[in-house]
Amino acid sequence: MANQDMAAAERVEGLITDVKGFKTQFDVFRFMKRVTELYGARAFMVLNMPGATAQELGSSSIITNWPSDLLTEFDQISLLSGSPVLAHLRRSSIPLRFDIDDVALQRDSKSGEVSKALFTRFRMNRGSYFPVHDATGARGAVSFIGDREPFNALEMMELAYIATHVFNRLAEIREMDSRNSDMLTERELDCLNWTAAGKTSVEIAEILTLSEHTINHYLNRATKKLDAVNRTQAVAKALRLGLIK
C-alpha cells in the first residue's frame, strides 16, 4: 500500500509540474483530456460559477470536452435552472460526488426524467465536481463525468488537488493574455478585426489604404503579442478576450 501511495503521489506531482509550465488555454485543454482518460472518466469541464440569473451552462464554461449536442440540449431545455449540483456549488466549498439518479430525484419530476435520460444517453451519469477559486476570489468548479464507478477517496483528493492548480493556472494565463492585449495598437486591432471577418491581407490593405507588407507586419506583431502560433489563433484569442467582435 505504501508503494502504491508513493507512486500515486509521484504521478500527481508530475501532473502538477506540467500544469505550472502551460502557456495557453489549449495546453490546459489537452492536459485535462489526458487527466480525464487517466481517471477513467469521459468528459471534463472547467467553469466560472454561473451567476444567479444565468440560464446557460455553456456561457460559464471556460474549457470543456462535453459532447456539443449534450451541452446544447442542456441549455435549450434550461436544465441549469434548478440544478441541484449548481445549488451545492453555490453554497459549499466541499467537493461533490454525484449520480444522475440521485440528482434527478432532487429535481421536479419532469426535469428530473429529462436530465436523467439526457446524461444517460451520453453515458455521463456519474462523476464529481470540485469547487475552486482563483487569487482574486472568483469562484468556479472543475468536473469529471462518465459512467465508471464513483471516484474513491484517494482519487477525490488527487483530482481536487489537480483541479485547484488547473483553475489557478487558467486565471494566470488569462492575466498574461490581458497584459499582452493592453499593448495592442489600434491598427493591430483593426487588422485582427478584418481578419476575423474573413479578409485577406491584400483586401485589408485596400480597406485601410496601406501596403500589404504593412498589414502583414501589424498582424505578425499582434500574433506575437497575443502569444499565438498563427493568425488564426491570434484572432480566436482576441475574440475570447473581447478585443474584437
What pLDDT digit, counting tens, does each position of 101-153 carry? 999 999 998 999 999 999 999 999 999 999 999 988 999 999 999 999 999 99
157, burial (CB in 10 Å: exposed 0-12, middle 13-18, buried 19+): middle
- Please say whether the beta carbons of 126 and 150 come within 8 A: yes
Nearest to 219 by CA among 232, 207, 206, 209: 232
CATH classification code of 2-173: 3.30.450.80
C-alpha–C-alpha distance, residues 140 and 135, integer Å: 12
> How far is CA 93 from each of CA 90, 132, 238, rounded to the nearest angstrom?
8, 8, 33
What pLDDT digit, counting tens, does each position of 209-218 carry? 999 999 999 9
Domain boundaries, the chain: 2-173, 183-240
Let me know if domain 183-240 sits in CATH 1.10.287.1080.
no
